[in-house]
Structure 1
Amino acid sequence: MVLAAGYGKRLQPLTSTLAKAVVPFLNRPLLDYTLDWLSRCGFTEAIVNLHHRPESVRAHYRKEQFGIDVHFSVEESILGTAGGPRKVLDRLGSRVLIVNGDVATTINPGALWKHHSSSGALATMALHAGPAWREFPGIKIDKDGCVTHIPGVGAGESGADDVASGCFTGIHIVEKEVLELVPENRFCGMVDSIYARLLEERVPLHGQVVSGSWYEIGTPDRYISCQLEALHCEEFPLAFEGYQRIRPGGYGRGLVGPLPAGISPPFMIDKQVKLEEASLISGVVIGSEAYVDRGASVLNSVLMKRAKIGAGAYVERCIILEDGVVPSGARCVNQVIAPEVLKKT
């Protein structure tokens, strides 16, 4: 089950008109990567819950996508990370893999599934201990993999037997009987309500530190950083379908004219993009039909479809939404720029 019902408030205004699960990631809807990942890992069916901007998700997906049968569960009132799965309990098997809809990953769920099956736990959380996890609270586990402490929810206590910690990736395996603890038709969070209860009642709850890449795009800063890192590492084959590898870390397709001399990787440039000469471009993901005028500098930024950067403008760590225009000579740093905002300024 893929959780895609949330409002994505921290990503606004990117999520004003889109569900977070279909915000572009390397010029494809983020959910593409989740469904492709599930298919590559052997899954054949997925339920995707929807609430905020459900039409933006439905518009992208047929019943079968990437070899996965996709079913939607629309929530009239948002039900939370536990309430969403509880709503479709009768459509789930005895054990379910639950994945947050705002992540892209190469984690192998097979190892997680194997650990869970042999542990006797009612739920097993995939934990990540790479550099990125330090932005998030660390969940602690003992030598047997039992979760001993979940920060921020008052559950469990760290102890001398703790041997590892990592942030919760939003990927977990859950037994059906756990979902039966969730109240019906009410908002309920999995970690702060259900997993906290399991810890308090000393019911087996496990965590496993997993290998593989994990990108969570929940804030504008991470939205930019995760794409540039994934582009540099070239980790998602799906992202590069149809693109030409121009140089290490640099990809383009259907370009209008030659690339300017001032461009350097990592970069991904979609079709019908025009980049004028004497522009300085480095660390960018640029959507189709975008335009960068002469002498502009665009650094560590994401430009969506039909975004336009005026002559001599300076853009750094910005997200320019569809049809957004940065005027000539403007200086924009650490901003999310929507068309309606630019019209006012």
Structure 2
Amino acid sequence: MRSAPLVPLALAALSFAACAGAPRRVAAPAPPREGACPARPACDAPPPAALPRGFRHTRSRHVASGWPRHRGRDLFVRAEGPQWAIAKFAYGPQDDDLEDEDIETYLLRGCSGDWERLGTFRTSDDDHLHPTTEGIPDTGGRVYLDLTAGRRLEVGRHRVHLAVAGDGTSADLFIEVLPPGARVAVTDIDGTLTSGEAAMVGELLGGAPPAAHPGAAEAMHALAGSGVYLFYVTARPEWLVGSTRVWLREQGFPPGILHTTIGVTGAFGRAAASYKTIELGWLKARTGIVPSFGFGNMPSDVATYTAAGIAPSHCYYHELGGDLRGGVRHDDYRRLARALFSRPTACAP
């Protein structure tokens, strides 16, 4: 059974807070603009009831004594291409893998109707690793579910819920099946949407959750209302995907696809820029899409978006000086929101 090196104390504290913290107030969604596309579904239906039936292995009970850090991988896909549900199951500050254990899986097709049971699947172990899929290498404790083996997902937003049979803990992921001609906006989170590059650290140590820049959620809603899909890309560690998704919802940001790094420590500096470049390369390879808009706050974001081929005039950098390579510096999302909205010629299903 593999376990990751001990992560910094602050990161472990956030993991605990993310799992055990009390629910916080959810910001009211931005009012829709006249002529705007309908909002993407929140997909927040209660999950199927968990029915723990115990673990297959004695060692798993020991692993599960730590708090759960399970996470699912959101994906953009095409209706005619590969469609995967990928998740990782691990516990505790050392991210101990849950290996060779049963995972019950369910699908909320189109974010509406009843949950469909997809079946029981076994997490991987060191002797039975899955080939790297959608850029996600198997290090144990993962589930790879080929959704094309059943009825394919149609254009729209979908949610997969995966529950550990042993104790009922769970992870979720979201899949956005894009229509032809879809437009995507990519945005960094820390320092770009949050009040500072290290805004999360205060929450790690027991403080209030970081605030979003005033008007940042409104700006993202302006794009969503114009028919643009949101791609939130952060160099945070993979196990923070759940708490990051909660933060976006609580701050009033529209639903989107959220990607973190795959590692347990995240990425910084050049490593973060390399990670984001890989993510945008994955988006283009999988869907053929170069984002129509990019949002950042660091020189590395400028380099990443330029290399990806995003039009410089549609790249917006919050309070960033220096050479923006034709990008736009801004310091007020509220003004930017008014400029970003355009009446869509068509809205996706």
TM-score of the two chains, using structure 1 as the length reference: 0.28
Q: If you compute each CA radius of gyration, which structure gives the higher value, 1 or 2?
A: 1
TM-score of the two chains, using structure 2 as the length reference: 0.28
Structure number with the bigger relative contact order (C-alpha 8 A, sep ≥ 6) is: 2
